[in-house]
Amino acid sequence: MPSTFVDKVKRKTFIIRESGRSTDFISPSFGHGCLFDCSYCYMKRHKPYGLDVATNTNDILYEINSHAYFTVVDKPNQTHEQFTTYDISCNEDFGLHANKYHEWEKIFEFFKNHPVAMGSFATKFVNLKFLNYNPEGKIRIRFSLMSQFYADYLEPNTSSISKRILAIDKFIEAGYDVHINFSPVIVVNGWLDRYKALFEEVEANVTHKNKVKAEVIFLTHNENKHKYNLIHDKKGEHLLWNPSIQENKISQYGGINIRYKHVLKAQYIEQFKKLHKEIIPWNTIRYIF
């Protein structure tokens, strides 16, 4: 089955899960799967190929609407000062799929006009069609950034890192709330030098510095995904699999993942934060783990 396979399905379950880090909650999926093929993607562990697209957008928005009105959320918090935030793209890259597969303007309009709820999603794709719509700050786009050196191996066919950075000002000026998603942070020899160059590029190309915050997520890999990458000759596995500095971690859903060793990771986080503060101190880190 090709990776571009798309199946239209009627969403039957509408579970809204707590998040608490990037957003307050994770909405039911408008899409499940991804037409990108990033080597580290957790979604690919469960759905290696293709994309399922929900045909009943209105039903999903109805559930979000009911949830937002009847769920008490203490505000302000780190996800937003005022609005209850929903990740609408936890199981896909909404920016990539929106034009062809989603009723994105209807979804954006829902959040734009909602007195309580705000939509959010991370993306590796600069979707210029979004610039023709002004969500009046009620849609947050989190542009995922890493060194282009890493991206060349791990994120084939995605928008270049420079293009994502240059999009930050454009999307803010178009009416979007824009954050940076430093994810996944990858530790190999010379990693701090690569992040130094990345931070310097952000510093040089973002004008609206008082509006852009960040979230930082260090790499979590998976043994089954590692084996899959080797079998399918995926590029960049040498960047992801490094047992000498990694250890097993049981996920909240019971899966066995691989992350940087606890003691080492604490050191890496401090090194990242120090370098980040030296170069782009205006880019407030909302959370890092």
**Alpha-carbon 166 to chain mean position:** 18
Tens of pLDDT, residues 77-136: 999 999 999 999 999 999 999 999 999 999 999 999 999 999 999 999 999 999 999 999
- In a domain, residue 1? The reply is no
pLDDT level of residue 249 (50, 70, 90 thresholds): confident
Q: Rounded CA gap, 95 and 128, in Å?
A: 10
Asked whether residue 37 is assigned to any structural domain, the reply reads: yes
% of residues, the chain, pLDDT over 90: 92
145-201 pLDDT tens trace: 999 999 999 999 999 999 999 999 999 999 999 999 999 999 999 999 999 999 999
- CA dist 211 and 207 (Å) reads 9
The mean predicted confidence, pLDDT, of the chain is: 95
Q: The tokens of 99 are what?
A: 């034009």
Cα–Cα distance measured from residue 119 to residue 67, given in angstroms and rounded to the nearest whole number: 13
Distance, in Å, from the CA atom of 258 to the CA atom of 198, rounded to the nearest integer, reads 25
Query: Could you tell me if residue 205 is inside a domain?
Result: yes
* Predicted local confidence at residue 252, as pLDDT: 63
Tell me what pLDDT residue 1 has: 37
If pLDDT is split at 50, 70 and 90, which confidence band does 2 have?
very low
In a domain, 184, yes or no: yes
Q: Which CATH number is 54's domain given?
A: 3.80.30.30
| The three-state (H, E, C) secondary structure of 20-43, written as one string | CCCCCEECCCCEEECCCCCCCCCH
Parent domain of 182: 6-288
Residue 172 domain flag: yes
Q: Which of 117, 125, 131 is nearest to 60 (CA)?
A: 117
How many domains does the chain contain in total? 1
Asked if residue 41 is part of any domain, the answer here is yes
Residue 204 lies in a domain: yes
Helix pair 104-113, 94-101: axis angle to 10 deg: 110
